[in-house]
Structure 1
Amino acid sequence: MSDQQFTLIYDTYCGWCYGAAPIFDVLVQADIHITALHRRLFQGGAQLKMSNGFGQFAERADQRIAQQTGQPFSQTYVTQILRSKTEELNSELTARAAVLVHPQGAATEMALAHRLQKARYVDGLSASDPEPIIAALQPLLDGSMTEQQIRAALASESLSVEATAIAQRAEALMQRVGSSGVPTLVCTVNGQHQVISLEPFFQAPEQILSILN
């Protein structure tokens, strides 16, 4: 295993994190030490309503992401999410969901993110709908929680507190390395941190392995 340690800071409903998902897939399958931290950007006062102009902004941004990364954004997503008069971008539920799989490691956490990203960017399902989140979690929890238990956990204040703690860890590391947005990939060796640019690997995700050692 490499002596490098990696930290992947993301938000499930960040379009660029979705665009970089193939890169993350390569990393989490490699023989490296990697930790995923959900930033939980869109919650509380940070929620964004599509009808207030954010939908138009996101639609333009998503077109750039699709061009640069090849990741699909369906017309169903555009119609049902970006052009919705009621949809809000809120990553609270998915941040709580990430807490439930966080102990299993980055590969499982990214698997959850991918399922939820497909539900949003391809199937056009709302970020405020708990049903896709529960459906995505069940197979990843290997039967350790019933549907009712998952539903109760997602609604619990204790899970929100844990999600906040993870987001604060992510924010502190971002401040330390001078990063202002997600996704942020940090490589740490002997206590020294370096931010790895993901843009060079959008078209060839497997080449991210060139950064090892």
Structure 2
Amino acid sequence: MSSAQHTRLTYAFDAYCGWCYGFGPALHEFAAAHADRIELQVLSGGLFTGPSALPVSAYPHVPGANERIAQLTGVTFGDGYRAALADGTVVMDSADAATGLVALRGQPGANALDAAAAMQRAWYVDGRSLSDAEVYRDLAAELCLDADAVAAAYASPAARAEAEADFLQVRRLGIDGYPALLLHTAHGTDRLGGPVSSADALTRALDQHLAA
């Protein structure tokens, strides 16, 4: 199948969004099942930026939300993350995280969805700050990417500008909640599924939209 026939999708997420972490396994399964017919763009939404980029302790609803996410999606939150929550000092800065995604996804052979998932594991399993340049070196190694190139990209103004462009593009798409999976067709843009959709449900929604 030529790329011209590939169906275009956009996944808008935030690395510090627990619902996106919960949605990740289903989205991965869906993307893998349709790898030959979809082209998936991954954008960062910018949930915690500017005055909202605060220590995790400033968001007391998080632990309760995590319990609900775990119940509804089956994901587990790691000991490192629970320790970071208890400590409360890690600042959730979505602009730094978005810059990290840009640094990872821009490397030769990189898969943006795999990079996004690796970042969410670094936070939600290991409790590591996504503002820490060393995290991106480690993620580069995990994803078989050039750690020096990733670190240099993370520190570059160009990557920060591209992250800001992601935020702008997400706003232009009218997205105000995450995760959001959008299908682009000749008829416009439609939202596929929701945060607790299974891979099968996403497939059914995709097929229905394309059949219409």
The verdict on a shared fold, with TM-score over 0.5 as the criterion, is: yes
Describe how 1:189-204 pairs up with structure 2 within 5 A. Answer: 189-199=185-195, 201=197, 204=198
**1:133 match:** 136
- The verdict on how the C-alpha distance between 1:9 and 1:154 changes in structure 2, with shifts beyond 3 A counting, is same
**1:182 match:** 178
Provide the secondary structure at the position in 2 that maps to 1:198.
coil
Provide the secondary structure at the position in 2 that maps to 1:48.
coil
Shift of the alpha carbon at 1:3? Answer: 6.0
Shift of the alpha carbon at 1:104? Answer: 6.8
**1:65 match:** 69
Provide the secondary structure at the position in 1 that maps to 2:61.
helix
What is the CA–CA distance in structure 1 between the aligned matches of 2:143 and 2:130, rounded to whole Å?
Answer: 19
**Structure 1 spans left out of the alignment, 5+ residues:** none
**Equivalent of residue 54 in structure 2, options 27, 42, 48:** 48
* Per-residue deviation, residues 134-155 of structure 1 (Å, max 9, x unmatched): 2112454644xx52x4323212
Give the TM-score, by structure 1 length.
0.82
Give the TM-score, by structure 2 length.
0.82
What is the CA–CA distance in structure 1 between the aligned matches of 2:138 and 2:144, rounded to whole Å?
Answer: 11
Shift of the alpha carbon at 1:34? Answer: 2.0
Shift of the alpha carbon at 1:208? Answer: 1.9
What is the CA–CA distance in structure 1 between the aligned matches of 2:56 and 2:64, rounded to whole Å?
Answer: 13
Alpha-carbon contact 1:9-1:36 (below 8 Å) kept: yes
What is the CA–CA distance in structure 2 between the aligned matches of 1:68 and 1:104, rounded to whole Å?
Answer: 34
Shift of the alpha carbon at 1:200? Answer: 5.5
Shift of the alpha carbon at 1:99? Answer: 1.5
**1:160 match:** 160
**1:208 match:** 202
Aligned residues: 200
Alpha-carbon contact 2:46-2:167 (below 8 Å) kept: yes
**1:21 match:** 24
Which contiguous aligned blocks of 4+ residues in structure 1 show a shift greater than 4 angstroms? none
Alpha-carbon contact 1:5-1:188 (below 8 Å) kept: yes
